[in-house]
A and B are shown apart, each in its own frame.
Chain A
Amino acid sequence: MKTLEIYDPAMCCSTGVCGVEVDPVLVAFNADLQWLAGQGVQVSRHNLSQEPQAFAANPAVLKELEAGMERLPLTLVDGRVVGTGVYLSRAQLAQKLGLAPVAAPVAPGSFPVQVGSGCCTPDSGCC
């Protein structure tokens, strides 16, 4: 079974609903991960502020972190880094995972993200 690992920047939650404006990228990405899990991919997701041990335990991830925080989010397929600094679209994820091409990608394309943006910023008081 293929594994997909996502290493998110430090944020309050990874679903994108708790900013001043819902982040459509995070909402769509979250739905994409659900879809992939339904396709039999083993999906795991780690947030730097909640699971730093996952980052510390993975040498490939540590190496990227040392290169700079803008490398987050990281996308790893079977332990290999296949994406840095962006949330890949459903079509891109499917392609990296060697799944059948997605007919009509429901998600918007890939977007660059800022570290700490998207979800709750630290002082936003929302959570």
Chain B
Amino acid sequence: MAISVADTRHLFFTGKGGVGKTSLSCATGLALADAGRRVLIVSTDPASNLDEVLGVALGQTPTAIPGASGLFALNIDPEAAAHDYRERMVAPYRGILPAAAIASMEEQFSGACTVEIAAFDEFSKLLGEPAATAQFDHVIFDTAPTGHTLRLLTLPSAWSEFIDSATGGASCLGPLAGLEKQKALYAATVARLADPSETTVVLVSRPDVSALREAERTREELAALGVSNLQLALNGVLAVASTDDAIAAAMMARGADALAGMPVGLAGLPVSSTPLLALGTVGLHALRLMANPERAGSRVETVEVDTALPARLSRLVDALAQAGRGVILTMGKGGVGKTTVAAAIAVALARRGHAVQLSTTDPAAHVAEAIGASVPGLHVGRIDPAAEVAAYQAEVLAKAAPNLDANGLAMLEEDLRSPCTEEIAVFRAFARAVDAGQEGFVVLDTAPTGHTILLLDAAEAYHREVSRTQGEMPEAVRQLLPRLRDPALTRVLIVTLAEATPVHEAERLQADLGRAGIAPFAWVINQSLLASGTRHPLLRERGAAEVPFIRRVADQLSPRCALVPWLPEAPVGVAGLAQLTQ
């Protein structure tokens, strides 16, 4: 079967960025609507392209989709939701409290967490209040990429545990305190997520090792939250009878290997499989073909492409090597290969005789694994959130314990269990890693966009804070933002794929960095079929479809650009990584 079939009222699609959550949720919703059901599709992704896929401008209330009777969609814009939430909290006190007090309240509600909570609040209304969606048979959530999704999903239970167990009263509820009265709604939301008769969660993955590993992580975390009604949707499976094209053969073999080695937890789930299609997934026609691929037939047009391709990654390494030291950050949404690109650059720099420290803050990363054998001059480290949190908690307790009685100590320990602690601990580790860039090269593959921006936002806030209070700030933290902004020291590389959603997301990332005063050094377009030299008709057609995105990145978005071909050998280990920079 090409798409998942679920009879539950609620369906969630989750997975790494670019695996096709939006396409699959729309194809599923459309198939249900075509079968006579009334369906609402909801996006909570701040980088949603639901409008684009369905071909309609959407808002925060259900909009009917022309050409699909019974199908409706809406976008939850987290920033607009946060603005509304802030207004609800602050407006009653205008004219009662002095302007300065109002301004300081508003500032307090401008953080990233308020955005997150406000979005969850909207999401709870749809899921926790049956009346809100009573006119629909199914509500489908095209949820945000994994890290974000998990935060959204784990937040309520984290907080309800926190509310239940907090003994001190004045604990760190943060902006959520204003929502405590909504506890019942959140509890209902969590209950619905975990009820297998009401909710199906579809884990979307490509047939590749890292996407499957990510899906398994999500499965484990959802299982820990009591969410058990799960399905696996494999998207973009290449299945052709036989081929003499090296790229197509390698792609099929790699997909088959990945599926054969699928984590046991995933292998036990109901599976659907959607073939790799030559056509894009924008518009109702393409979505219907996705659900019924046999209707597409085998007609594939032969396409010839005539466009100047950007330089290879080795040229970019030359430019990076010139400085002799510095911080290189690869950024981009999950699934674009920023860990691979970071590791390949680190290996290439080390092979040119430079001292290189490669660190990862991506919780799903396996850099050490990707390096395999060691390279002289290269050190690989991982910023492990759990280890950082433990070290930070120990440090704080050691520092504070002498001044606290037993009761005070118990309260501090409780507070150190709050979700804030991990953000702070990881941030400090990030600052330390950047600090090492004074000496040699430091290559960091950062976590997905939301998290990255959180870190940079944090850097900004801390920077302002530090310049005011000059407290006990570690020097590495004090220097962080000026270092990130210094083009002579820090080089940000934006990694993307030559496809609609990844380029759109990368563009948003570049704009976000711009707001923090950071300009990328270059863009890297990864896994290009066009540059791969494939002769397979379906893959050539997909390669030709990359052209407008390559042109947009090379000609408009990037100061300099490198193109990495889709590689027949998996980019794992030193030899595998060296392919990228040959």
The chain B residue with its CB closest to the CB of A70 is B100
Q: Which of A5-43 contact B (CB under 8 A)?
A: 9-15, 17-24, 27-28, 30-31, 33-35, 38
Query: A52 to B465, alpha carbons, bound, how many Å?
Result: 24
A-B contact pairs, 22 of them (CB 8 A): A13-B171, A13-B173, A17-B421, A18-B424, A20-B427, A27-B400, A31-B405, A50-B178, A52-B97, A55-B97, A56-B97, A65-B100, A114-B469, A117-B465, A120-B420, A122-B107, A125-B111, A125-B454, A126-B424, A127-B172, A127-B175, A127-B418
The interface residues of chain B lying within 8 Å CB-to-CB of A45 are 170
Knowing A22-B400, A117-B465, A125-B458, say if A106 contacts B104 (CB, 8 Å): no
The chain B residue with its CB closest to the CB of A15 is B415
The chain A residue with its CB closest to the CB of B431 is A20
Q: A13-B415, A27-B408 are in contact. List 19 more A-B contacts (CB 8 A).
A: A13-B173, A15-B171, A18-B172, A18-B421, A19-B465, A20-B465, A31-B409, A31-B412, A34-B407, A35-B407, A65-B100, A114-B468, A117-B469, A122-B109, A123-B110, A124-B457, A124-B458, A125-B113, A125-B458
Is B98 located at the chain interface by the 8 A CB criterion?
A: yes
The interface residues of chain A lying within 8 Å CB-to-CB of B109 are 49, 122
Identify which of B98, B110, B113, B408 contacts A30 (C-beta below 8 A).
Answer: B408
Is A116 located at the chain interface by the 8 A CB criterion?
A: yes
- Chain A 48-63 near chain B by CB (<8 Å), digits 1 or 0: 1110110110000010
Interface residues on B, range: 35 or more
The interface residues of chain B lying within 8 Å CB-to-CB of A15 are 168, 170-172, 411-412, 415
Most chain B CB neighbours (cut-off 10 Å) among A22, A55, A107: A22
Q: Are A123 and B458 in contact (CB under 8 A)?
A: yes
Q: Are A123 and B404 in contact (CB under 8 A)?
A: no
The chain B residue with its CB closest to the CB of A29 is B408
Q: Are A20 and B418 in contact (CB under 8 A)?
A: no
Q: Are B98 and A65 in contact (CB under 8 A)?
A: yes
Query: A28 to B396, alpha carbons, bound, how many Å?
Result: 13
Q: Are A52 and B105 in contact (CB under 8 A)?
A: yes
Q: Are B472 and A21 in contact (CB under 8 A)?
A: yes
Is B177 located at the chain interface by the 8 A CB criterion?
A: yes
Query: A34 to B477, alpha carbons, bound, how many Å?
Result: 32
Is A68 located at the chain interface by the 8 A CB criterion?
A: yes
- Chain A 71-87 near chain B by CB (<8 Å), digits 1 or 0: 00000000000000000
Query: A99 to B295, alpha carbons, bound, how many Å?
Result: 85
Q: Are A10 and B100 in contact (CB under 8 A)?
A: no
Q: Are A22 and B399 in contact (CB under 8 A)?
A: yes
Chain A nearest Cβ from B320, distance in angstroms? 29
Is A108 located at the chain interface by the 8 A CB criterion?
A: yes
Is B122 located at the chain interface by the 8 A CB criterion?
A: no
Identify which of B96, B177, B400, B423 contacts A24 (C-beta below 8 A).
Answer: B400
The chain B residue with its CB closest to the CB of A49 is B108
Q: Which of A103-118 contact B (CB under 8 A)?
A: 106-108, 114-117
The interface residues of chain B lying within 8 Å CB-to-CB of A115 are 104
Q: Are B465 and A121 in contact (CB under 8 A)?
A: yes
- Chain B 407-444 near chain A by CB (<8 Å), digits 1 or 0: 11101100110111101100110000000000000000
Query: A23 to B412, alpha carbons, bound, how many Å?
Result: 11
Knowing A30-B411, A34-B408, say if A127 contacts B104 (CB, 8 Å): no
Identify which of A22, A31, A69 contacts B104 (C-beta below 8 A).
Answer: A69
Q: Are B107 and A55 in contact (CB under 8 A)?
A: no
Q: Are B461 and A49 in contact (CB under 8 A)?
A: no
Is B386 located at the chain interface by the 8 A CB criterion?
A: no
Query: A120 to B109, alpha carbons, bound, how many Å?
Result: 11
Chain B nearest Cβ from A84, distance in angstroms? 15
Q: Are B107 and A31 in contact (CB under 8 A)?
A: no
Q: Are B175 and A12 in contact (CB under 8 A)?
A: yes
The chain A residue with its CB closest to the CB of B468 is A114
